[in-house]
């Protein structure tokens, strides 16, 4: 790979126009900035929210699929490496350049719509109410999409703490806190337009908008969750759903660890798809949130935080009718049923305590966990997942075994019990001398992931895909056969004129 | 491709055992049968339910993934073509041999479980209640899976008129009548085990059972909906859901064609995911059902069948509680709300009439349509789909234009308005002399599909995938770029030792 020079900048500027290109000061093309200087105002393109600090050779910002195609074709021919970057809210180093200063950032900032002139706000979102779908540019932010949909009574139902752009959500196949009811991005993607990284920057239009269509390979799935490696998604057609009009939430205290899954099955049976979230929060994570987000109210009696707390939410898309039970009442009835279960009298039932309250307050606590654990010390974070029944078993194993292997490492996890996803966070005191040892955190990370994958058959990346942070785990835990297939597919999608592909 | 001989049969018998192989009488290997004779008791392997009449050289029935792998590797090396066959309930000629007598049938009959000795009934289904999932062999019938799940309170929620085996459901990505609520097979498949058609019969184990997992390409999607072309699925891990405990249904008569979509949006808004089906039935299809299935009761006043009737269903997974409204009451309230909508007074609202009745009776009518139209004359059937808003527009276009182009062809369609799927059936009098013209039906089919794809951007195969019946449409309507990618992928998955793949 080469270090891009002024000639390259001129060529890119000819494709995307002056304001589509950010270059280091003195480069004489595009918008000259302090990109690549290390102290940049535009550091947002060079580092992730939580990890990574790289140096960009330039930032190219195409405003359409066609421009993206030309940019990819040009960079492919010139031997320039591009790192696709969407909202840059990921946590695994997938969207920022390395420190070499030779990589360009392909930003989705201006991929705002299907009309090339759409360059701001929510861009040119096309809403098809009859099909319950929207067509959006990859650069549209989730919050902008939902602000556009809300007055119409709809929402794109992927609920995240961050505010990514749609392209990145597709590239990582995010799931979030309401997966249990709505599924992940993949399940809500009806079509994509994608540009391959081949010599032509081949555009594939896979935008049918159809819900049932089985006329061959469903190609869009290759570009969902694969971080742009096989092609860059520039537009998407997405499923949307009715915005909930009634919501109620409760904090449940399970009797013990085994009670957590019992409560999940009970709630699913008794509430069906009214159940829109079933989240788990450890005492350590809750405590860190209270310490660092003072506006939160502690809802527990005497302020005593239980060992583990579940946030359960019910919702419905219609306003409560006079003739029917409210969701608050349903929640009360359901919790009473679980409480009074004849098979498991009070003292032995799965529920130790429950608090029904304002959903906003409970979600404020849930969403503050991430901020809290960030401030509690040096954070070593994992985004892992399990078959649902294994999540609590993994936690129990770690509570016992981690201290034997790594002393003074605090577990402050939370996650999505309803879908098996776990944000397994470890916190280390900032003045711990082991942090001076460059091998300490890698060895801790390797040990945890080994337990996740080998002992519990879990995933080392539930919803952040592969980035630099996960590359070594991909290398270690992907079967050789699968790696060879992936290499073959990568070669196929980047082989230039597709007709030139030779196999066997 | 070669005509298999006794040596081939002996080799196959060595893999699958005596009862795993059916061969023509006098072949001296496996079970000698009248397969390949044209008048076979085993004609079930040689012809589809509705179309196709082929001749099998043999039927091989491996009982495990490992046997499947050996069979595929052997046939690949020997140059023998295998046609994978699951429940053989498909309608597009994808699962039966051609008339040459040289093709072998790879039957899923004995792929009943993950333990090789499981050879009958529901096989060895493994149920993981905490994960809400089952592991099944590809040869397990849908009805057997659901009979296994029902006593446990669960169901695999793909609702079909036929009773296919799981492997075929995955190979065609069936959707069915409750797609609106539960999605298709793809959305309910957590993992597959697959055997590639390469020189080794490479087995890929993609059976994680995880709901959130983004650690590279999600390979399973290549084997869903692709009729075994890229590999044969031998086992699957499937999502299951709670069995509904309350169900109510109604027949709605829309004011006019435009009212159909209005009713769909109204029902979605007012019933949320309680809405589990929204099916459309034409008067011609209903009439054919009444004519040919005498046990059906005609529920319409004076027996007068409306032009178009919608079957809507609400369901919930819990038994009605004393404290809450029943689903029957909810249906009444919702229909009254739509009826009394201030924006659209009675006479102008989308609802002309409605009948709440016994769900079983309404579904009996719905499921009898298929049988009815089969008896109404020579049937020319299409399984097409549209963006939801285009389905009724296509119907209206056809009602006007078809008679101009093809006289005396009766439209008797029905379908899944809630997901855009349409069983567009045409019926021609059995004594119509045009049936003697071999070009007549192909030209009719070509014209209809051209309208579907070119004018309405629909799919020529909503949920039956590609078979011989659809091959020419795939050839005509798949972009060249996509065909080349598909050919490349086929070459990649069948290239022999994956390490030997060379590209570019």
Domain count, chain B: 3
Q: Taking residues B90-99, what's their average pLDDT?
A: 82
Contact A140, A131 (CB under 8 A): no
Residues on chain B touching A153 (C-beta within 8 angstroms): 269
Contact flag B213-A459 (C-beta cutoff 8 Å): yes
Q: Looking at residue A391, what is its pLDDT?
A: 97
Q: CB–CB of B217 and A222 under 8 A?
A: yes
Task: Specify whether A303 is located in the same domain as A250.
Answer: yes
B502 has a pLDDT exceeding 60: no
Ramachandran area for residue A216 (φ above 0: left; ψ -120 to 50: alpha; else beta): left
Same domain (yes/no): B205, B250:
no
If you average pLDDT over residues A143-148, what whole number do you get? 95
Count of pairs with CB atoms under 8 A, one residue in A, one in B: 300
Over residues B453-479, the pLDDT tens digits come to: 999 999 999 998 888 889 999 999 999
**Same domain, yes or no: A232 and A253:** no
pLDDT tens for A343-392 read 655 567 899 999 998 999 999 999 999 999 999 999 999 999 999 999 99
Q: Are residues A333 and A210 in the same domain?
A: no
The alpha-carbon gap from A225 to the nearest alpha carbon of chain B, in Å, equals 6
pLDDT exceeds cutoff 60 at A106: yes
Residue A502 confidence (pLDDT) above 80: no
CATH number of A358's domain: 3.30.70.2190
Classify residue B421: in a domain, yes or no.
no
Please name the residues in contact with B443: beta carbons below 8 A apart, sequence gap of 6 or more: none
State the pLDDT at residue B465.
86
Residues B305 and B341 in one domain: yes
Any domain includes B485: no
Q: What is the rounded radius of gyration, in angstroms, for the C-alpha atoms of chain B?
A: 24
For B23, residues 6+ apart whose C-beta sits below 8 A from its C-beta are: B9, B29, B30, B31, B32, B33, B35, B58
Residue A307 within a domain: yes
Mean pLDDT of B315-339: 92
| Structural domain includes residue A358 | yes
Q: Are A447 and A406 in contact (CB under 8 A)?
A: yes
Of A268, A329, A498, the CB nearest to B488: A498
Q: For B29-42, how does the pLDDT look when each residue is reduced to its tens digit (9 = 90+)?
A: 878 887 777 666 67
Whether pLDDT at B331 is above 80: yes
pLDDT score of B44: 82
User: Average pLDDT, stretch A208-229?
Assistant: 94
Q: What is the ipTM of this complex?
A: 0.93
- Distance (Å) from the alpha carbon of B253 to chain A's nearest alpha carbon: 19
pLDDT value for A25: 84
Point out the domain boundary residue: A422, A440, A455. A455
Burial A271-301 (b: 16+ CB within 10 A, else e): bbbbbbbbbbbbebbbbbbbeebeebeeebe
Residue B347 — very low, low, confident or very high, per pLDDT cuts 50/70/90?
low
- pLDDT for residue A92 is more than 80: no
Q: Which residues contact B88 (CB under 8 A, 6 or more apart)?
A: B44, B45, B48, B49, B95, B96, B168
In a domain, B90, yes or no: yes
Taking an 8 Å cut-off on Cβ atoms, the answer to whether A215 and B465 are in contact is: yes
Confidence of residue A118 (pLDDT cuts 50, 70, 90): very low
Query: Between chains, do A478 and B269 touch, taking CB under 8 Å as contact?
Result: no
Any domain includes A460: no
Say which CATH number the domain at A31 has.
3.30.43.10
Lowest mean pLDDT among A299-308, A435-444, B18-27, B413-422: B18-27
Q: Which of B215-219, B319-323, B500-504 has the highest mean pLDDT?
A: B215-219
What share of chain A in percent tops pLDDT 70?
A: 93
Q: Say whether both A255 and A385 belong to one domain.
A: yes
pLDDT of B50 above 70: no
Is it the case that residue B430 has pLDDT exceeding 80?
Answer: yes
Q: What is the pLDDT of residues B97-149, one digit of tens each?
A: 888 889 999 999 999 875 433 334 446 899 999 999 999 999 999 999 999 99
Across chain A, what does the average pLDDT equal? 90
Measured between CB atoms, which of A187, A215, A501 is closest to B460? A215
Tell me if A215 and B473 make a contact (CB, 8 A cut-off): yes
- A342 pLDDT band (50/70/90 cuts)? low
In degrees and rounded to multiples of 5, residue B195 shows phi and psi of -115, 125
Q: Over chain B, what is the mean pLDDT? A: 90
Q: Supply the pLDDT for residue A346.
A: 55
| Domain identity same for A284 and A224 | no
Indicate whether B165 belongs to any domain: yes
Same domain flag for A147 and A289: no
Per-residue confidence (pLDDT) for residue A464, from 0 to 100: 85
Confidence tier at B1 by pLDDT (50, 70, 90): low
Chain B residue whose CA is closest to A190 = B387
* Of the residues A242, A265, A287, the one at which a domain ends: A242
Please report which confidence band the pLDDT of residue A191 belongs to, taking 50, 70 and 90 as the band edges: very high
Q: Which residue has the higher pLDDT, A30 or A472?
A: A472
Q: Which residue, A242, A268, A301, sits at the end of a domain? A: A242
DSSP string, A170-213: HHHT---TTHHHH--TGGGEEEEEEE-SSTT--EEEE----SS-
Judgement on whether residues A232 and A252 belong to the same structural domain of the protein? no
| Separation in Å, CA of A378 to nearest CA in chain B | 25
Contact B491 A503 (CB under 8 A): yes
Share of chain B above pLDDT 70, in %: 93
Helix A6-16 vs helix A65-78: angle between axes, to the nearest 10 degrees?
160
CB of A157 closer than 8 Å to CB of A83: no
Instruction: Supply the CATH number for residue A200's domain.
Output: 3.30.465.10
Host domain of residue A217? 126-242
Q: Is residue B449, in this structure, part of any structural domain at all?
A: no
């Amino acid at each position: 790979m080469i270090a891009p020079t002024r000639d390259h900048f001129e060529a890119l500027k000819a494709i995307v126009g002056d304001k589509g290109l950010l270059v280091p000061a003195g480069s004489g093309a595009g918008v000259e900035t302090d990109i690549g200087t290390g102290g940049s105002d535009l550091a947002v393109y060079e580092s992730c929210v939580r990890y990574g600090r790289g140096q960009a050779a330039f930032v190219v910002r195409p405003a359409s699929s066609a421009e993206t195609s030309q940019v990819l074709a040009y960079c492919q021919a010139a031997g320039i490496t591009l790192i696709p970057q969407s909202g840059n809210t990921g946590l695994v180093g997938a969207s920022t350049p390395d420190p070499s200063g030779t990589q360009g950032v392909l930003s989705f900032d201006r991929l705002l719509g299907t009309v090339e002139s759409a360059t701001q706000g929510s861009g040119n979102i096309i809403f098809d109410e009859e099909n319950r779908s929207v067509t959006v540019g990859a650069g549209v932010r989730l919050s902008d999409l939902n602000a556009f949909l809300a007055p119409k009574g709809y929402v794109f139902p992927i609920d995240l703490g961050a505010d990514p752009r749609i392209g990145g959500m597709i590239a990582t196949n995010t799931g979030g806190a309401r997966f249990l009811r709505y599924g992940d991005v993949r399940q809500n993607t009806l079509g994509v337009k994608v540009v391959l990284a081949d010599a032509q920057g081949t555009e594939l239009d896979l935008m049918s908008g159809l819900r049932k269509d089985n006329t061959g390979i469903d190609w869009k799935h290759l570009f969902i969750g694969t971080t742009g490696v096989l092609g860059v998604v520039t537009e998407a057609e997405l499923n949307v759903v009715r915005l909930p009009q009634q919501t109620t939430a409760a904090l449940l205290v399970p009797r013990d660890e085994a009670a957590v899954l019992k409560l999940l099955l009970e709630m699913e049976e008794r509430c069906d798809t009214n159940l829109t979230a079933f989240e788990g929060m450890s005492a350590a994570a809750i405590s860190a949130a209270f310490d660092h987000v003072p506006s939160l109210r502690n809802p527990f009696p005497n302020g005593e935080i239980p060992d583990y707390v579940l946030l359960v939410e019910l919702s419905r898309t219609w306003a409560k009718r006079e003739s029917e039970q409210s969701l608050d009442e349903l929640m009360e009835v359901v919790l009473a049923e679980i409480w009074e279960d004849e098979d498991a009298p009070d003292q032995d039932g799965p529920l130790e305590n429950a608090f029904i309250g304002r959903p906003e307050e409970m979600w404020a606590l849930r969403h503050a966990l991430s901020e809290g654990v960030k401030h509690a010390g040096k954070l070593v974070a994992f985004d892992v997942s399990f078959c649902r029944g294994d999540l609590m078993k993994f936690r129990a194993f770690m509570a016992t075994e981690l201290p034997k292997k790594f002393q003074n490492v605090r577990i402050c996890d939370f996650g999505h019990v309803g879908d098996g996803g776990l944000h397994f966070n470890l916190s280390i005191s900032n003045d711990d001398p082991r942090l001076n040892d460059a091998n300490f955190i890698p060895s801790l990370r390797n040990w945890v992931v080994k337990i996740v994958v080998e002992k519990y058959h879990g995933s080392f990346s539930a919803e952040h895909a592969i980035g630099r942070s996960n590359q070594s785990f991909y290398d270690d835990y992907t079967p050789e056969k699968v790696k060879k297939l992936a290499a073959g597919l990568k070669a196929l999608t980047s082989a230039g004129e597709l007709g030139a592909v030779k196999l066997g």
